[in-house]
A and B are shown apart, each in its own frame.
Chain A
Amino acid sequence: MDARRRPAVPAWNRPGSLVLACLLSYGVAHLVVMDIARLPGPATGEATALGQIMALALLPVLIVLGFGAHARHVGLFVVGGCGLAAALVGAVLS
């Protein structure tokens, strides 16, 4: 869609949207750590470290994605979807 024809969105929803993106992204990153820590294979400490390395790299990307893709809140839905997938994986692993 052409940018000029997009409906105007009030600027006040930006801070709210950022807070939501941060909270959702943090939740997903935390679930990633928990999931990888539960993976069979490496020792728990090593798996946790791997999870933290990955989750930390993911966290800023998720925040930018969740906040940036604003059309119909696609970004927030994508981040939420990632969280749902991570929660399901966690349920399967536990």
Chain B
Amino acid sequence: MRETLRTRMGWLHAWTGFVGGLVMVCVFVTGSLSVFDTEITRWMQPEVRVAPGTPLTPAALDVAARMIHEGETHGIPAFLALPSPRSPTLKVLHYDGREFTGPQLDPQTGVIIPARQTAGGEFFFRFHYTLCMQGPAGILAVDIPAIGLLVAIGSGLVIHIRALLPDIVLLRLSATRLRAWLDAHLLTGVLFLPFMVMITYTGVLVHVDRLLPAIPVTSLWSQGRPVSRSTAIRPPHVAPSPVFQPLPPLAPLLAAARAPLGGREAGFILFSPDHLSIFASDASGPFLTRDHADFHLPDGALLATAATSGSIARSVQLLHGLHYARFAATGLRWLYLVSGLCATAVIASGLVLFGMKRRRDRGHTVAFRIGEGLTMTTLVGLPASLCALLWASRLLPATLPGRDGTEITVFFTVWGLCALHALTCAVTGRGLRAWRTQLAMSAVLAGGLLPLDGLTAPAALHAAPAIHAAVDGMGLGAASLALYVLSHLRDRAA
């Protein structure tokens, strides 16, 4: 085989796209859903029926302040997430080693809402950037395939550069199946190229310290060395437990913080033994700042204001803000979701093309069949497992201890079973049958969300109709897509 730039780039595009794509489909699907993580959490907690825009009262803030002070004296530091148009409740949150958790209060009365424990939309967010793996390994497991995706995009551009502009809206559905898939891949790939590059680049940039730390390479390895025996047996230094000052009324402090924060709404409050910090809301602009006003405890006098200046810091904040999209109004959020799903379609069509191009020559090999099984696990198994998570959030008993963990177990169990089924069928030469079975299962799980919602939480449907209509409608959309693909596969089999 003669090596030309085009063949070499084709090989690079195919393999980095396939290997990275298997992970990136998972990252893009869950990332797209994370744009509406708060709304998904509300769908998964039908007990929370506080209307958006319910005013926050000083009484509710005082109840929250008492809970936080009590927690601090018991060694559980917590912070206060203030109500917002997307999440109308007051949340007293602490980190349990895996996620932020805690009670939700009615913003008007301060009464604890007896909401079920759930993995919530937070799970999609956490899975999106760590694949639910602990420590830096999870972040690197996402970041390295993301770099692979950027390499695939670059090599794809080199291959397609001549036809990039003339063929920008070319789609030949009536051509051969391979040609039609390739056109669909190119059409969505080129049109959503700016979004894909922006979201992948800014996503890796969020945790770039893990990938490109500003320390010599040699010290990277020395950091991970096991602790020597002499240091291991040394008793740990025990710091004296700090004395937490009583908290003043929070409502006047929130009003006082407005001016130093430049008129921006407050997002959350952090508490220290001798001061508290009121942070600007992430929704207040495209720059994801951590600007805050500090108040002395217990008298509540303004101590200082921390606001980031400097062009580089502002640029970083903008790049982070573009990725998180917390500033975006509902309309722009929907565009993020649609763009994210289209980007997923680009990668998914690439995975399908990878298999189609190799099926004739290598379809009989075990390696090819494992690749097909993995593709199936990613493209069909993942959406089915995500739907299973939503089913679990409604069907598990509301008072079950460790309920959120059980939901996650259900998700991974279903995904694992899908993987086992896909790989077994693919390796034994029954790949098409496995595609059909899993597509049918996905259609049932996704399409069943609407009746499930209506039967298990009819009151919540009336309290937040837009959220429930959106989630159930997305389920119906996914089910329709699965049925459409299934009907095409049946035609092919016939």
A contact set with B: CB distance below 8 Å: 3-4, 6, 8-9, 11, 14, 18, 27, 29-30, 33-34, 37, 42-43, 46-53, 55-57, 59-61, 63-64, 67-70
Residue pair B212, A29 in contact (C-beta under 8 Å): yes
Residue pair B214, A48 in contact (C-beta under 8 Å): yes
Interface hits, B190-249 → A, CB 8 Å: 201, 204-205, 208-209, 211-214, 216-217
Residue pair A14, B214 in contact (C-beta under 8 Å): no
A3 touching B214 in the complex, CB below 8 Å, given contacts A50-B312, A57-B201: no
B-side contacts of A49, CB under 8 Å:
312-313, 316
- Which residue of the partner chain B has the closest CB to A45? B313
Residue pair A56, B205 in contact (C-beta under 8 Å): yes
A-side contacts of B12, CB under 8 Å:
18, 64, 67-68
Instruction: Mark contacts of B305-325 with chain A using CB atoms, 8 A cut-off: 1 yes-contact digit, 0 otherwise.
Output: 000001011011001000000
State the Cβ distance, A71 to closest chain B Cβ, in Å. 8
Residue pair A60, B312 in contact (C-beta under 8 Å): no
| B155 CB within 8 Å of chain A | yes
- Which residue of the partner chain A has the closest CB to B1? A11
Residue pair B8, A68 in contact (C-beta under 8 Å): yes
B-side contacts of A11, CB under 8 Å:
1, 11
Distance between Cα atoms of A50 and B214 in the complex (Å) = 11
Residue pair A64, B208 in contact (C-beta under 8 Å): no
Distance between Cα atoms of A9 and B204 in the complex (Å) = 35
B-side contacts of A67, CB under 8 Å:
8, 12
B contact set with A: CB distance below 8 Å: 1-5, 8-9, 11-12, 15, 147, 150-151, 153-155, 158, 201, 204-205, 208-209, 211-214, 216-217, 310, 312-313, 315-316, 319
- Which residue of the partner chain B has the closest CB to A3? B4
- Which residue of the partner chain B has the closest CB to A36? B214
A68 touching B147 in the complex, CB below 8 Å, given contacts A33-B214, A52-B205: no
- Which residue of the partner chain B has the closest CB to A14? B11
Query: Considering residues B5, B8, B201, B315, which has the most beta carbons from chain A within 10 angstroms of its beta carbon?
Result: B8
A interface: dominant SS? helix
Residue pair B216, A8 in contact (C-beta under 8 Å): no
Q: Which of A14, A30, A51, A56 contacts B217 (CB 8 A)?
A: A30
Residue pair A60, B150 in contact (C-beta under 8 Å): yes
State the Cβ distance, A90 to closest chain B Cβ, in Å. 10
A3 touching B2 in the complex, CB below 8 Å, given contacts A55-B212, A59-B147: yes
Distance between Cα atoms of A63 and B13 in the complex (Å) = 12
- Which residue of the partner chain B has the closest CB to A8? B2
Residue pair A64, B155 in contact (C-beta under 8 Å): yes
State the Cβ distance, B351 to closest chain A Cβ, in Å. 19
A34 touching B214 in the complex, CB below 8 Å, given contacts A42-B312, A49-B316: yes
User: What total count of A-B pairs have CB within 8 Å?
Assistant: 87
Can you list 9 A-B contacts with CB-CB less than 8 angstroms, sorted by A residue number? A6-B2, A14-B8, A27-B217, A37-B214, A46-B312, A51-B214, A59-B147, A60-B147, A60-B151
Q: Which of A34, A48, A57 contacts B216 (CB 8 A)?
A: A34
Beyond A14-B11, A56-B205, A68-B5, 14 additional contacts (C-beta under 8 Å) are A6-B2, A8-B3, A27-B217, A30-B212, A33-B214, A49-B316, A52-B205, A52-B208, A52-B209, A53-B205, A53-B316, A56-B211, A56-B212, A67-B12
State the Cβ distance, A83 to closest chain B Cβ, in Å. 12
Residue pair B214, A52 in contact (C-beta under 8 Å): yes
B-side contacts of A70, CB under 8 Å:
3, 5, 8
Q: Which of B11, B151, B201 contacts A64 (CB 8 A)?
A: B151
State the Cβ distance, B473 to closest chain A Cβ, in Å. 37
A-side contacts of B4, CB under 8 Å:
3, 6
State the Cβ distance, B197 to closest chain A Cβ, in Å. 10
Residue pair B214, A56 in contact (C-beta under 8 Å): no
Distance between Cα atoms of A34 and B9 in the complex (Å) = 30
A-side contacts of B201, CB under 8 Å:
56-57
A-side contacts of B315, CB under 8 Å:
53
Residue pair B212, A52 in contact (C-beta under 8 Å): yes
State the Cβ distance, B287 to closest chain A Cβ, in Å. 14
Distance between Cα atoms of A71 and B141 in the complex (Å) = 33
Residue pair B8, A64 in contact (C-beta under 8 Å): no
Closest 4 CB pairs of A and B: A60-B150, A64-B154, A46-B312, A48-B214
Distance between Cα atoms of A50 and B314 in the complex (Å) = 11
- Which residue of the partner chain B has the closest CB to A11? B1
A-side contacts of B8, CB under 8 Å:
14, 67-68, 70
State the Cβ distance, A70 to closest chain B Cβ, in Å. 6
Q: Which of B150, B158, B205 contacts A68 (CB 8 A)?
A: B158
Distance between Cα atoms of A52 and B210 in the complex (Å) = 11
B-side contacts of A14, CB under 8 Å:
8, 11
State the Cβ distance, B435 to closest chain A Cβ, in Å. 29
- Which residue of the partner chain B has the closest CB to A9? B3
State the Cβ distance, B11 to closest chain A Cβ, in Å. 6
Distance between Cα atoms of A33 and B209 in the complex (Å) = 10
State the Cβ distance, A60 to closest chain B Cβ, in Å. 4
State the Cβ distance, A33 to closest chain B Cβ, in Å. 5
Distance between Cα atoms of A49 and B319 in the complex (Å) = 11
Distance between Cα atoms of A50 and B311 in the complex (Å) = 10
Distance between Cα atoms of A7 and B356 in the complex (Å) = 30
